[in-house]
Amino acid sequence: MHRLPVLLILWFSVFSVRAETPLMIWVEFSDKNHSPYSLSHPSEFLSSRALERRQKQNIPLDFFDLPVSPAYTEALLSDSLVEILYTSRWFNGALLSVQGEASLIQLMEYEFINQVENVKPSPESLESKSESNVGGLQFARTETPDSVSHLQDYTAVFPYSFMHTLNNYPYYGASSGQVSMLKGDVLHKNGYWGLGKVIALLDAGFRYVDSLEAFDYMWNHNRILGYKNFVAPGENVFEEHVHGAYVLSVMAAYLPGMFSGAALGASYWLLRTEDARSEFRIEEYNWLAGAEFADSVGADILNSSLGYTRFDDVSQDYTYDDLDGNTTVVARAANMAFSRGMLVVNSAGNYGSQNWSYIGSPADAHNAIAVGGTNAEGTRVGFSSIGPTPDGRIKPDIMAQGQGVAVINSFGSISNANGTSFAAPLISALAACLWQEFPAASNQEIKNAIIRSANRYFKPDNHYGFGIPDFELASALLKKQFEDPYFITLLHNPIMPESVIKFYNEKKGYVSLDLFNGSGQRIWSQENIVVNPGFNHIKPFSDFHQLTSGIYFIRVNFGHRSELLKAIKL
C-alpha cells in the first residue's frame, strides 16, 4: 500500500469533502517516467521562440523542461470526478478539481503521487477575510488557442513616422515624468522601444483592453500576441479585474500627443493568474502555470504586480522567515523562470506603512527584480514595502515612480494611480527597450546593468534598495561590456558562493586577485590564477560567509593592467 507522509494524513482529517463543492488539489508526481517526450525533440512542448531564447543564452534543456508523464494524467482522468486544470513541467505536478471522498482517497493511493495539497478549501469551511493582493483600484476577441503548436512567432511592424513622433519629447504627454526619471527617454530617442521583445503580464484581469482606444495601436499592429485565463479557463480576461489593464497601459497604451506607454515596440501576452475575489494558495500555482506558459511561448520578460503572504485560510499563511527567496511557490517559480532565460520583474508591495511592512513573494525571490515606489521627485513613498529578507538580502532591488503614475483608466482617459504595481511595469518596459539595444545580452547581464546603474548602488539600503536606475547609464555599461574586449564584470552581486568574475583574455596567462574592505584594507589575495584565451569565469567566493556585511573592492591584476570591481556582502 502506498503510504502518505503524516502531514497529508493530518490534512485529510481536517477538511471535509462535500460532493457538491469540488476541492482544488495540487498533486506532485514522483517522476516523469513512461513518457513519450524527449529533450531531443523539444519542439513538441516548447515554441521555436522559447528554444531560441535558450540558445542565445547558452541554457541547456533539462529535466524541468519535460512535460509531466501522460501516463500519470491518464490515470487521474480515469476517474470522472477528477478534472485536470493544468500541469506543471517545472514542479512536475498538476492542479486538479476533485469531487467526492472516494476520489480524494484514490489520489492518496497512487504510487506515482508524492504530495497532495488542498490549495483552495471549500467556502463552507471558511469565513472570508480576503484582502486582495492586487493594487487599488469591462466585448472580447476570440481567445488564443492553448496549444503551443498553434502559436505564431510575430514580427511586428513599427512605422518610422510613429517613432519620429514619439522621439519628440513633448509627445509623451502625461507619462513624460515617469519615463524621464529613469532616463528611458534616452533609449526611445535612440530608437529603442522594445521591438522584438515579448513581455508576459501575470495579473488579475484586463478589463476593456479589447475596446479602449488607447490600446488600438497594440491591436492594429499585432502587439497583443494572445491571452489566457488560468483562474477560470475559457472565461473572458477582458471582463475581469481592471488592475492588469492599468499595468498594461504603463507599458503599451498610446494616445497621440497625450500619453505614451514606455515599451510601445514590445509584444505582449496577457495572462490572468490572480483571483481578486479571494486569496488562496491556488493563485500561487496559477502564477506558476502562467510563468511556464510564458516560457513555452518564448516570452523574454515576466511582469507581475502581485504578492503573497497572507491567505483567507490562515493555515496557508507565510511567515517572515518563509520569505527567504526560495521557499514560497511563487519564489521558486520566479527563480525557475529566470533559469530559463527570462527576466522577472515584480512589484515590492504596498505594506511599508503597515505592521507587516516587508515585501511579499515573489518579490523576495533571489532572481526577481523587486521594484519599490517613489513619488515624482524620486523620494520613497511610505506605502512601498521594505526589506531585508530574512536571509539578509537587500530588498527591494530598485525603485521607480509608484505615486501619481499616469495610467489609462476604465473610461479610456488618463488618470493617476498609486502603488508599486505601477512602478514594476516601468522597469519591465524599459528593460525591453534596453534588451532590444543589446539582443546578445543574457537576462543576468540585463539585470546587472539595470541594478548597477541605480543611484544608490554604492550605498544600498532596505528602503530604496540600490535606488533609481538610469537606463542611459545601463546602456553605457552594456555597450562597454560588449564592445570593450577588456571589460570585466561581476555576475551575482551582492556576492554569494556562485558569484562569477567574468572577463575576456586574448591569450593564456595568469591573473591575481586582491580583496579590500571599504576602508582600503586588503583582506585576502589569490595569485597565479590560470586564464585561457577567450572568456574566463573565476569563482573566488567559496568562503564568502567569513566576510562581514559591507562594501568590498576586488582588484584583478593582469600584469600589464588592473581592473577594480565593487562587491557587496549582505
Segments of 376-438 assigned E as strands: 398-401, 405-408, 414-417
**Each residue's pLDDT tens digit, 141-167:** 223 333 333 233 333 344 445 555 555
Give φ, ψ of 468 to 5 degrees. Answer: -90, 120
The number of domains in the chain is: 3
Q: Please state whether 419 falls in left (phi above 0), alpha (psi between -120 and 50) or beta.
A: left
Domain C-terminal end among 125, 143, 173: 125
For residue 554, the domain's CATH number is 2.60.40.3080
Sorted by sequence, the CB contacts under 8 Å of residue 64 that are 6+ apart come out as 89, 90, 336
Q: Would strands 405-408 and 414-417 be described as parallel, antiparallel, or unpaired?
A: antiparallel
Segments of 295-337 assigned E as strands: 301-304
Give the model's pLDDT for residue 304: 97
Give the model's pLDDT for residue 491: 86
Q: How far is 317 from 313, CA to CA, in rounded Å?
A: 7
For residue 261, the domain's CATH number is 3.40.50.200
275 found inside a domain? yes
Q: How far is 230 from 273, CA to CA, in rounded Å?
A: 5
Domain C-terminal end among 408, 439, 470: 439
Mean pLDDT of 119-126: 67
∠ Cα 371 377 380 (to 5°): 40
164 found inside a domain? no
Give φ, ψ of 171 to 5 degrees. Answer: -75, 0
Average pLDDT of the chain to the nearest whole number: 88
Query: Domain range for residue 26?
Result: 6-125
Give φ, ψ of 244 to 5 degrees. Answer: -65, -30
Highest mean pLDDT: which range of 157-166, 369-378, 561-570:
369-378
272 with 345, same domain: the answer is yes
Q: Would strands 550-557 and 509-517 be described as parallel, antiparallel, or unpaired?
A: antiparallel
201 with 114, same domain: the answer is no
Residues in the chain: 570
Checking if the pLDDT of 541 tops 70, the result is: yes
112 with 239, same domain: the answer is no
Cα-Cα-Cα-Cα torsion 87, 88, 93, 94, nearest 10 degrees, comes to: -20
Q: By C-alpha distance, which of 31, 41, 37 is closest to 72?
A: 31
Q: By C-alpha distance, which of 382, 428, 432 is closest to 402?
A: 382
Cα-Cα-Cα-Cα torsion 10, 15, 16, 21, nearest 10 degrees, comes to: -140
Of the listed ranges 55-69, 362-376, 414-428, 539-553, the one predicted with least confidence: 539-553
Residue 552, amino acid: Y
Is the model more confident about 564 or about 336?
A: 336
477 found inside a domain? no
175 found inside a domain? no
220 with 346, same domain: the answer is yes
199 with 111, same domain: the answer is no
Mean pLDDT of 492-520: 88
Give the model's pLDDT for residue 481: 86
398 with 275, same domain: the answer is yes
Give the model's pLDDT for residue 546: 86
* Confidence tier at 543 by pLDDT (50, 70, 90): confident
Q: Would strands 398-401 and 368-374 be described as parallel, antiparallel, or unpaired?
A: parallel
493 with 417, same domain: the answer is no
Q: By C-alpha distance, which of 125, 120, 121, 108 is closest to 27?
A: 108
Model pTM score: 0.86
Distances (CA, A) of 232 to 123, 273, 274, 286, 457: 17, 9, 10, 10, 42
∠ Cα 41 42 48 (to 5°): 125
Mean pLDDT of 405-410: 96
Domain C-terminal end among 81, 101, 125: 125
Q: How far is 353 from 419, CA to CA, in rounded Å?
A: 13
409 with 506, same domain: the answer is no
433 with 500, same domain: the answer is no
473 found inside a domain? no
CB 214 within 8 A of CB 249: yes
43 found inside a domain? yes
Q: How far is 365 from 325, CA to CA, in rounded Å?
A: 4
52 found inside a domain? yes
217 with 324, same domain: the answer is yes
91 with 12, same domain: the answer is yes
CB 474 within 8 A of CB 431: no
Percent of the chain clearing pLDDT 70 (strictly above): 88
384 with 493, same domain: the answer is no
**Each residue's pLDDT tens digit, 210-268:** 999 999 999 999 999 999 999 999 899 999 999 999 999 999 999 998 999 999 999 99
137 found inside a domain? no
The grid coordinates of residue 568 equal 557587496
